[in-house]
Structure formats: C-alpha cells, structure tokens
Amino acid sequence: MFLLAGARAEIKVGGVFPALASVGLVGEVPDTKDKILVVDFWASWCAPCKAAFPALGKINADYAARGVVLVGISVDEKPAAYADFVKKMAPTFLTLHDASQKLVRAVAVPAMPTTYLIGRDGKVRFIHAGYQGESTDRILRTQIDKLLAAN
Amino acid sequence: MRSRLLLTLFVALAAALFSGCSTAVRVQPWERATLTDYTMRPDRDPLAVALAEHTYFSRESATGGRGVGGSGCGCN
C-alpha cells in the first residue's frame, strides 16, 4: 500500500507521449505531424537545464531541416520566471510553458532536465535524464540519428 | 467471531494510520522551485555561518570540533 501511494505513472520508452496540443501549453504549439519530436523539460531554477541550452540550440539547428522538431518545455510555476528566463537566455529553439504543469505531471519526469525523443508514431523512443555536458549531447545526437535512419 | 472482527478493524485502522507515513508527499523533480531558492541555502549568510561555526567549535573542541576526530584537553 505504501509503495502504491508513492508510485508514479512515469512514461517509459515505448509509451505514447501526450499530444502537445491537448495539454494547455502556453505558446505556439508546432505541427509535429510526421516529424520526430525532441522534448526537453526545463525550469528557470534548474542549473543543469540552463547549461543544456546551447547544446540543444545546436541540435535544433543541425536537425531541423531533417524533420526533427525540438521543443523546450518550461515547468516554471511562475509565468514571470519563465518570461524573464527566456528573455535572458534567448534560446535558439522553440520554448513553450507548461504553466499548469499538466504535461509534466502526465509524463512524470524522473529528473530535471529530462529529454524525450519521440518517433513519428508518437511513441517515446529514448529518454535521457539530466545533463552531463558533451556526453549528453553525443547520446542525443546518436539516438536522433538512429531514429532518422530507422524512418 | 467477535475477536476476528476486532482484529480486522484493528488492521484496517493501523493501515489507515500508517498510510500517513507513505512516500505520497515526496517532492517531485518539477516541484523543486522553492527548494532551489537562494533563501533555502544554509550558507547564504557568511557572518551567521562564521558565528555558528565558532560556537560549535568552542562547544565541541574537546572532541575535535569540526577538525580532527577523537578527544582532547578542550583547552584551545
């Protein structure tokens, strides 16, 4: 019973990722039909999330033309914190705000940040928790390449 | 029969009581904004840290304070 009380319905590899358009995200939700989707959950108070921004920007630049959509989703509870952070960091990829934390609760991320790689069928193909610098960058690129090759 | 009913009732009450000890209140990764706030840092005030350390060292110097372990004369 105690274990059940603490259990989370965490989305794993193979699970269906919620449709971005249906969870009340603030911002312009991109068209992800027939696209490979990379979703990165971040927050303004999360230092590793901030450190990951330049690498995510480069991934977005390198893969956008190949049918990959990269979206950074903020889980900040305060809209001002989100707006100030985006203004300060000026990310080179699309950011949305999960102001109600509806999506992050549904996904139940294991850590901040966590990056999900979602296939064209809407199923999660790879999950990377945390940001470990070049290692994370290399892993993400390898997994995206693998998914592009499979499609 | 009655003792069995009482036992069942006791187990149910105990389960309800101890469910409060479950991990249901665990702070999730996306809920840590307040915990990461600067004011939550124990070392946010250097003067207060220095005073607390001085008090601790003076009080616990007989056992080495925060330095070496083991007992001593307590005279420093």
pLDDT digits (tens, 9 = 90+) for A68-122: 999 999 999 999 999 999 999 999 999 999 999 999 999 999 999 999 999 999 9
Residue B61 lies in a domain: yes
Structural domain boundaries enclosing B49: 40-66
**Least confident among A24-28, A83-87, B21-25:** B21-25
Considering chain A, what percentage of its residues have pLDDT values greater than 70? 94
Residues 6+ apart with CB under 8 A from A21: A29
Domains defined along chain A, listed by start: 36-150 (3.40.30.10)
Selected residue of B13, B30, B34 to mutate for chain A interface (largest A Cβ count, 10 A): B30
- A119-150, pLDDT tens digit by residue? 999 999 999 999 999 999 999 999 999 999 99
A1 touches chain B (CB under 8 A): yes
Listed in sequence order, the residues at least 6 apart from B70 whose beta carbon sits closer than 8 Å to its beta carbon are B63, B64
In B, which residues are within 8 Å of A108 by CB distance?
28
The whole-angstrom distance between B1's CA and the closest CA on chain A is 27
ipTM of the complex: 0.87
Q: Does some domain include residue B50?
A: yes
For residue B23, which residues of chain A lie inside 8 Å, CB to CB? 2, 5-6
Domain total for chain B?
Answer: 1
**C-alpha span between B25 and B57 (Å, rounded):** 36
The Cα–Cα gap between A151 and A90 comes to: 32
Residue B13 inside a domain? The answer is: no
Q: Using alpha carbons, list the distances in angstroms from residue A58 to A41, A61, A70.
A: 17, 5, 10
Residue B23 located in a structural domain: no
User: Does B32 reach chain A within 8 Å, measured CB to CB?
Assistant: yes
pLDDT confidence bin for A5, thresholds 50/70/90: very low
Side chain identity at residue A145, one-letter code: D
